[in-house]
Amino acid sequence: MKSSILALALIAGTCLSVPAWSQEMMETVVVTGMRAETDPNLVPHVYLLHRADHLITKVTVVCDTRDPSKRRQELRETLRSMIREAARSGTISLGVGDEIVADLTERMLDKVIQPDARADTSRATVIIKTRVSKDDMFDDATARIERFIEAIPKAGRTEILRDDRWDLTIVGPEQYRAAVIAKVAEDAKATADLFGPDYVVRIEGLQHPIAWYQKGPLDLALYIPYVLTVTPP
């Protein structure tokens, strides 16, 4: 039993000394309101509580100016206004993407502007993000985004239509692997101590990636779907 606990502690210690995370590992991942696991039996009770990095919502910037070139120009002007206002705000940033959100830049404008279902309409889909602080309430974060949308200067016949959904993001979830494993090791040791020195604890599944579920309006529970067993020697 002691050797198994020691091995787990060494695993946790090794993970704690990982090198700096690369840019690829620090991707902004969208977290839906649904649990990551459909089967509740696969979700262990050990988790790391983590405040989401951003609250986000999706907006569609649409324009139905009849002249195609003018329509595209108006959309570009409105998108540029959004980028400028976000840079000035200090609390808002813009992105594109579904599961992984990349930063929106002016060089992307021609790519994000797409034909709409109607022949005389074009659109661009943009993610609006606000960073979540430890003292934020859900209403505080949503209000920042709503104020930002209302303040955007809109060119010509451009409109900004917000989706009803709010989502959370986490940046580079795998960077929390060491902290989650440390909590698993602590719980495993406490569990083994309850049974006594003649019992062996075994843990399987720590090779799985970090998973999560929403723990509160702005909080996430990060975990690894492991299985712990305690057996006689």
Mean pLDDT, rounded, for 81-104: 94
Q: Is the pTM of this model over 0.95?
A: no
* Average of per-residue pLDDT values in the chain: 87
Residue 40: the pLDDT is 61
pLDDT tens-digit readout, 150-164? 999 999 999 999 999
What burial letters (b/e) apply to 126-135, b meaning 16+ CB within 10 Å?
bbbbbbbeee
What burial letters (b/e) apply to 5-15, b meaning 16+ CB within 10 Å?
beebbebbeee
Task: Please report the domains of the chain, with CATH numbers, ordered by start residue.
Answer: 2-51+171-231 (no CATH), 54-168 (3.30.70.360)
Whether pLDDT at 222 is above 70: yes
Rounded Cα distance, 47 and 138, in Å: 22
Helix (H) or strand (E) holding 37: none
Mean pLDDT, rounded, for 32-59: 79
pLDDT tens-digit readout, 4-23? 443 444 344 444 444 454 54
Give the bridge partners for 185, in sequence order.
none
Handedness of CA 65, 68, 69, 75 (dihedral sign): positive
